[in-house]
Amino acid sequence: RKKIIITIDGWSSCGKSTVARQLAKELNYVYIDSGAMYRAITLYFLRNHIDWTDIREVREALSNIQLDFRFNEQSQQSEIFLNDENVEYVIRDLVIAEKVSEIAAIREVREYAVKQQQAMGKKKGIVMDGRDIGTVVFPDAELKIFMTADNAVRVERRFKELYAKNPNITIEEVKNNLEMRDYIDSNREVSPLRQAADALVLDNSNLTMEEQLNKALDWVSVKI
Ligand code: C5P
């Protein structure tokens, strides 16, 4: 069967990665979480006290960053490494989420990440989720999905995830963070979050995981 590129874009905490991961597993494709790259870059900037308003500092920092995804046999998931350190867990912290959209709006940061993302799609057979994957990274992708979900559903979902790691977190913090990221992500100058003209919309507010996957698989079946 023909191998294709599948892009999944949408608002924060819509369940993109869950669908993307399952789809990749089902099709035996590679799954790439592009947001993890922006989060890992943010982690590096914070740890190294990079002044990201200074473009020379940004360029210098990026030249010292090596990102790669490695498949973990145990968890059966691909995990991101920042300069050989597994940072898959730490990048999910709210401290990172508070700054990531600001850093992901920097042109040089996007160019750095997009170039690597495009290289990963060379052989096709890939599912990538993010904000600009169907519009900028792979504008010719065979299948583009745009995911949405009710705000309340999204806040609740992300709150549960973060609360499991840190019981001090409040629902307001999570809600404010999602609203802030969506605002910055959809209003930035460089490749803002947009639904591609040829994207199919998947609203998962009232769908079970299985229903979402089946819908996506139906869409895939007419493309391969
Ligand atoms: O997908 P996730 O929520 O982990 O992404 C974290 C942040 O990274 C987003 O809020 C957005 O600012 C940025 N991002 C992006 N472009 C992508 C993926 C993520 O700007 N393709």
pLDDT value at residue 76 = 87
In ligand 1, the atom with minimum distance to the C-alpha of 33 is: 1
Taking the C-alpha atoms of residue 148 and residue 194, their distance in angstroms, rounded to an integer, is 12
Q: Which residue(s) pair with 129 in the sheet?
A: 8, 33
Residue 222 forms part of a structural domain? no
| Cβ(70)–Cβ(81) below 8 Å | yes
pLDDT digits (tens, 9 = 90+) for 155-203: 999 999 999 999 999 999 999 999 999 999 999 999 999 999 999 999 9
Q: Is a pLDDT exceeding 90 seen at residue 222?
A: yes
Residue 210 forms part of a structural domain? no
Residue 217 forms part of a structural domain? no
pLDDT value at residue 194 = 97
> How large is the average pLDDT for residues 113-125?
98
Q: Is a pLDDT exceeding 90 seen at residue 78?
A: yes
Q: For position 54, which CATH number holds?
A: 3.40.50.300
> How large is the average pLDDT for residues 36-54?
98
Residue 214 forms part of a structural domain? no
Whether the pTM exceeds 0.90: the reply is: yes
Number of compact structural domains in the chain = 1
- 57 is written with which tokens? 């500092």
Half-sphere exposure of 10 (CA within 13 A, CB side): 27
| Cβ(7)–Cβ(103) below 8 Å | no
> How large is the average pLDDT for residues 201-224?
96
Band of residue 63 on the pLDDT scale cut at 50, 70, 90: very high
So what's the ipTM on this one? Answer: 0.99
> How large is the average pLDDT for residues 86-98?
97
Residue 212 forms part of a structural domain? no
Band of residue 75 on the pLDDT scale cut at 50, 70, 90: confident
17 is known to lie in a ligand binding site: yes
Q: Which residue(s) pair with 7 in the sheet?
A: 128, 144
Mean pLDDT of the chain: 97
Angle between helical axes of 107-120 and 94-104 (0-180°, round to 10)? 100
Q: Which domain holds residue 59?
A: 5-203
208 is known to lie in a ligand binding site: no
Taking the C-alpha atoms of residue 130 and residue 145, their distance in angstroms, rounded to an integer, is 11
pLDDT value at residue 98 = 97
Q: Confirm or reject: Cβ of 128 under 6 Å from ligand 1.
A: no
Residue ID of nearest Cα to ligand 1 atom 14: 35
Residue 221 forms part of a structural domain? no
Residue 215 forms part of a structural domain? no
Band of residue 1 on the pLDDT scale cut at 50, 70, 90: confident
Q: Is a pLDDT exceeding 90 seen at residue 133?
A: yes
Residue 82 forms part of a structural domain? yes
In ligand 1, the atom with minimum distance to the C-alpha of 92 is: 4
12 is known to lie in a ligand binding site: yes
User: Which single residue is written with the structure tokens 């190294």?
Assistant: 48
